[in-house]
Structure 1
């Protein structure tokens, strides 16, 4: 069975779906000093509202409720169902501390062995 909807009804359904995605989304992407709400996120990319989103390309930052999650290298892959899809070329987790270039010893185990009574 095939169902045909008028253009007005289909446009209304698409608008309702997009509004629902905007309400439930909590992720943001920041690029060139501007922020955009991420409507869908999956392992290889994400999607923004096609009306608001420019064709982003390059380095962007992904945030979840203000917490920096990822630094990404992206490319716009196309528009589908009112959403602009972007694919990751690189997805790197953000860290709160700087990386070190030396081995950090865990001294807690050594201290426990040194304080062991002999017997």
Structure 2
């Protein structure tokens, strides 16, 4: 059985759904110092409330709270019922340390302990 809803009721339901998604999600998008809440994210893209975000294209940063997750190259994909969808052209995970140009041995010591007494006697 299908229920026919008036346009006003459907618009209210859509607005309530978007508001609950916005509050539940910690994901956010930062572009040029401006922050946009991300409603949801999937493997190849994400969605933002259409009234919040302009038609973005280019390099953006994606955060989960304060944790920087990805630096993304995005393109606007489609507008669907108050949701602007974006597709990743590239999504590079942000590393917490610089990349190594050598293979680190699993048995290598974590640090070097030195005797500072010899340095003090000079």
TM-score (norm 2): 0.83
- Structure-1 residue corresponding to 2:53: 53
2:9 equivalent to 1:9: yes
The equivalences for 1:56-67 within 5 A come to 56-67=56-67
- Give 5+ residue unaligned stretches, structure 1: 110-119
Superposition misfits of 4+ residues, deviation over 6 angstroms: none
Post-superposition offset of 1:104: 2.6
State how many pairs are aligned.
109
3-state SS, counterpart of residue 62 of structure 1: strand
Matched, 1:83 2:80: no
SS in 1 for 2:92: strand
Aligned to 1:31: 31
Quick one: distance in 1 between partners of 2:107 and 2:9? 67
TM-score, structure 1 as length reference: 0.85
Alpha carbon RMSD of aligned pairs, Å?
1.4
